[in-house]
Homo-oligomer: A and B are copies of this chain.
Amino acid sequence: MTTFVINERDRFPQTRVEISGRWLFGPGPSNADPRILAAMSLPPIGHLDPDFLTLMNESQSLLRYAWQTENPMTIPVSGTGSAAMEATLANTVEPGDVVLVAVKGYFGHRLVDMAGRYGADVRKITKPWGEVFNLEELSLAIEIHKPAILAIVHAETSTGVRQPLEGLGEICRANNCLLLVDTVTSLGAVPIFLDKWGIDLSYSCSQKGLGCPPGIGPFTMSPRAVEKMQNRATKVANWYLDMSLLSHYWGNDRTYHHTAPINMNYAVREALYLLAEEGIENSWKRHQENAESLWTGLEELGLECLVDKAYRLPTLTTVRVPDGLDAKAIATKLRIEYNMEIGLGLGELAGKVWRIGLMGYNSKPEKVLLLLAALKKVLKP
């Protein structure tokens, strides 16, 4: 074999940045519970190891509890929340299927983009960013478009809106339509009754309500959604996220599909155990109470929230940037002076809002105090 001279151009990067952590009050990742970080650093074992298979069962069970579902096909996908998001569409959309997307923020637009890539006939209805749809509007759109799938975001991370979902599942069932709901910024932190609300497909992430680092994406599909997948005329147009294959690994066969991200699975199991120990309804209550303290404190600072209180997410608050202030400059100041991250506006809201997260491990009274104290300092120096 010919050997060549080793190219050392890229062997010594000019930096070696040291990671020391920050207070993460943005849209996620949020700070992780030390128990979760300890779990992540346990030694890896094999993806077919009996201990790992047992751990998989535990995570599936706990994820069902977190979502309040009994869906057998409930798993953490081996990617971030965006991979789990794509998995919902990839498995159920066949070319030509009408997919109706109710768009009221950035992530609604992403659903439109993704559905189109799987050949869907995508229809959309829209609302201004910061508002919600009412049941009549959604019902009417279903009658007009007769979609195979209605996709809607429960907790819009770009606007801080909580979309009411009660009653929508019944309308979808009556119209032979699957209901797909984004619960990225709500799972574990905001009331969701997946089965009671008739939701067929959902996805989330690890780094918000669950307080785990990002890298693994909770995913669930109802028996109705599984049936649509099983009746496909074509293979799922995505190998990595193909649930018809993955169900054999996560089900009884334990057939190898891909090597699972072992340590991320340790982490999400620990996060889910923490949630089960607390009790989901206590976590929901905690997030609501700390968010209300934040809102009161913001008002005292003379700041205004974008979203009407009735539809405001407890996990993610969008705060209007007062006239004359530079949103990014304030966020940078917070980072430099107090080692603290808050989020900037996305899309239509770029420059107009900050996005402040209080999620999972960070939804605590003392963190609300800290955040408000720091905001006060940078706003009124």
Contacts and interface: CB of A to CB of B under 8 A. Distances in A.
A41 B40 contact: yes
Interface string A271-283: 0010010011100
Given A1-B166, A70-B9, A83-B240, A15 B46 contact: no
B68 A13 contact: no
Contact of A61 (B13, B32, B216): B13
Given A11-B276, A240-B83, A46 B26 contact: yes
A78 interface: yes
A117 B257 CA distance: 16
Interface in A9-24: 9-13, 15-17, 19-22, 24
Contacts of A273: 16
Contact of A13 (B10, B57, B266): B57
Given A15-B57, A114-B239, A240-B86, A261 B213 contact: yes
A75 to B, nearest CB: 13
Interface of A: 1-4, 6-13, 15-17, 19-22, 24, 26, 28-29, 31-32, 37-47, 49, 51, 54-55, 57-58, 61-62, 64-65, 68, 70, 78-83, 86, 110, 113-114, 116-118, 164, 166, 191, 193, 195-196, 205, 207, 213-216, 235-241, 256-264, 266-267, 273, 276, 279-281, 335, 341, 346
Given A10-B70, A17-B58, A19-B55, 14 more contacts: A1-B164, A11-B65, A13-B61, A13-B62, A22-B46, A28-B259, A29-B46, A31-B43, A38-B41, A80-B261, A83-B240, A110-B239, A117-B239, A216-B261
